[in-house]
Structure 1
Amino acid sequence: MAERPELTEAERPPLRVVRVIARLNIGGPAIQAAVLTSGLDTRRFESTLVTGTEDDREGNMLSLASGEDFVAGVEPVVIPALGRSPSPLRDALAFLSLLRFMRKLRPDVVHTHTAKAGTLGRLAAWLTGVPVIVHTFHGNVFSGYFSPAVSRLIVTWERALSRISTAVIAISQRQADELVDLGFAESKIRVIPLGLPLGRFKTRSAEDCAMARQALGIAPDSVAVGFVARLVPVKNPELMVEAVAELAKVHSNVCLVVAGDGPLREAVVEAASLHGVELKMLGWRSDLGEVYGALDVVALSSHNEGLPVALIEAMASGVPVASTDVGGVADLLENGQIGELAKADPRSLANAIESAMRSSKSRTERARESVLNRFGEERLVSDIANLYEELAESKHRRISRRSRRYAMAQTG
């Protein structure tokens, strides 16, 4: 039987895209998944977001951001067995659910975010013949999470998964270089930085900042150091407490303001009490624009980062920043030109926070302009759309056949 002619460009239906993420907890990966699901042109893409469930205290990004444009219309397919915590039984059930879902929908593109979803989603896509498989490394689990032996096993496994991937995305050039150094094929790596809904973060007048501080119970003369993060080991919040304790030796009125939650909440409270650090625990907040307005500086103390959302949002709000020099932070801060970099020790981080507090107005304005130009959601959506279409073009014969089969299955 003669093979049917290929579909012309005008006849081609939108690319069916399935985006898989382990859970929509508060953080950059979930924001990216929502931005792409809501932002891609529906004439070119049919997007479906598949997610699992959050652990205790992780927060749900869709609930927290309810009412924001970037989550408008995002209604994920939830696989209850899918989540961050390892469980052989639940992981097997989640994998079978993903297999069934992909066999039914027959997507043209599967794009995974986060490590667990990257494993289960890519294997399910490969086994069901999905033409284009993409994975984004938001941070990576190669350092800061596990022992050296376990980390080596993870690197080996991720390299194997990259072989069945059409492309892998690094969110900074430094991260891309690290992947190459670890043996990932350079030809498959694309650098596409984060894209965030930054329009809600603005510089504020002195009066607005004073009102924000009053609302949070921060004294007018306090030095308010913000820590906006999940309270988990990789974020190393105990180091932040120790750094603020060092800073308090110079500034007696220092206050550490923590916006976030997680399993280390009690440990942070205990460490602050031990070191005599004034602490305000805000939990998860939906009004981060107001919170940033109350802060003198935002700092991070992580063992590992991709591109930290908190620093980007803070700079977009006109707040100076400091961070340990890990992952893509140096790329974000232009090697210290628009923010301070520190070693992973209390004194170095305290010095970086002190230097950030003295940032000139022109420096904070330059930082704001930089992140608005580099990390807007429109740029991300455009970059990803172009990548999907480029990769799909290289697989257009397979996609055309899948589209016909999918249409036949739908009609009958």
Structure 2
Amino acid sequence: MDPERYETLLVAGQEPIGEQRAEAWIEAYGVPVEYIPTLRREPSLWDDVRALWWLWRLMRRWKPHIVHTHTAKAGALGRVAAWLAGVPVRVHTFHGHSLEGYFSPVVSYMYRIVERLLARLTHRIIAISPRQKQELVERFRIAPSEKFVVIPLGFHLERLDAYTPEAVQALRRLWQGDAQVPLIAWIGRMVPIKRVDKLLRAAAAAHQQGIPFRLVLVGDGPERAAWVQLAQQLNLPVIWAGMRWDMPVVLRAVDAVVLTSDNEGTPVTLIEALACGTAVAATPVGGVPDVLEGGRWGMLLHEPLDKTFVSFLQTLPQLQAQARAAMPVIRERYSHLRLLRDIETLYADLYPRR
């Protein structure tokens, strides 16, 4: 944001165990940050009340003109605190959502009720894809269509150019070993909604048919132990790569990236893979069809997954050509400069300078 027009304060909570703060990025951009230790992802009445009180006091002291919230917990407490503090403009961005698939039907229904109430306290709600907006308006009835605006994600995708061909080849040799087979990667946080169990079963079916490939799982999370056990039961060779910070190298060392989630917002993994010209395939959930333009830039993995996964492996050269064609389009569409223009236009519309 233009520092001559906007004075910005980032308010962040306590990161979950196993995750790290993006301190390098914060320091690089020189963003002032205030951490609230009681603002946590896990539900806790006592911590949530204290976080709400902390946020309200902060807003009364800082007197912002605009409060823009992200994620479910911070979005709820932040918007309530901003409303109580009399902040003139309140904006919320849905990245993913917890309205379906994460909890029991009863709990999911309660979440939808809460989000509908919060929408009444919100001047504008940002959806990150047209399909997500349609889902939030028509399926979950969070708010009327006119309260939404679609602003796609934006990233410094130029950082993905920080690699050397030698590093790419070294990692590829490490993962391939003596077998010159395609490397198929899954990248993400290992939680139930990502449904890596479906991927493992589909990959095992393809492996039993003798189709050559090697599966690489990049990331970590609470489901890893269960998925390791499942892969062993399926007799499926898997490379468990763990957490890695050299994504420009990883995304070029593999032949394709695949996601089999039950729910997604706009998957950053697919955007970054396509920005590197790497083939992708994913289940058609959330904003995935928007990113892939209905299959123009990658394959949509419909059920039955074991059959479409085999088709994906068999058409890999075609998908790689699609990804190379998508690369300049994706880099422009999901540029951080485009995101900044869109956000500044929205802010100016909601709070015209006096």
TM-score w.r.t. the length of structure 1 is 0.80
Q: Is the 8 A contact 1:244 1:350 kept in 2?
A: yes
Identity of paired residues, percent?
39
- SS of residue paired to 2:330: helix
Residue 194, structure 1, aligned to residue 148, structure 2? no
Partner of 2:102: 145
Q: How does 1:299-378 map to 2 (within 5 A)?
A: 299-351=258-310, 353-355=312-314, 357-359=316-318, 362-378=321-337
Q: Is the 8 A contact 1:144 1:304 kept in 2?
A: yes
Structure 2 residues without counterparts, runs of 5 or longer:
none
Cα separation, 2, equivalents of 1:73 and 1:220: 46
Partner of 1:5: none
Root-mean-square deviation over aligned CA pairs: 2.2
Cα separation, 2, equivalents of 1:261 and 1:102: 36
Partner of 2:17: 56
Residue 89, structure 1, aligned to residue 50, structure 2? no
Q: CA deviation at 1:222?
A: 2.8
Question: Would you identify which runs of 4 or more consecutive aligned residues in structure 1 move more than 3 Å?
Answer: 68-71, 202-209, 215-220, 250-253
Q: How does 1:164-203 map to 2 (within 5 A)?
A: 164-181=121-138, 182-183=140-141, 184-202=143-161
TM-score w.r.t. the length of structure 2 is 0.93
- SS of residue paired to 2:242: coil
Partner of 1:244: 203
Residue 229, structure 1, aligned to residue 188, structure 2? yes
Q: CA deviation at 1:194?
A: 0.5
Cα separation, 1, equivalents of 2:9 and 2:308: 42
Q: Which moved more, 1:86-95 or 1:142-151?
A: 142-151
Cα separation, 2, equivalents of 1:191 and 1:348: 34
Match of 1:388 among 341, 347, 352: 347
Partner of 1:269: 228
Q: Is the 8 A contact 1:213 1:294 kept in 2?
A: yes
Q: Which moved more, 1:237-246 or 1:93-102?
A: 237-246
Q: CA deviation at 1:247?
A: 2.3
Cα separation, 1, equivalents of 2:256 and 2:210: 14
Q: How does 1:94-133 map to 2 (within 5 A)?
A: 94-133=51-90
Q: How does 1:23-62 map to 2 (within 5 A)?
A: 40-57=1-18, 59-62=19-22
Cα separation, 2, equivalents of 1:265 and 1:361: 29
Between the two proteins, the alignment pairs up a number of residues equal to: 352
Q: Is the 8 A contact 2:278 2:324 kept in 1?
A: no
Q: Is the 8 A contact 1:170 1:192 kept in 2?
A: yes
Q: Which has the larger radius of gyration?
A: 1
CA 302–120 in structure 1, closer or farther in 2 if over 3 Å, else same: same
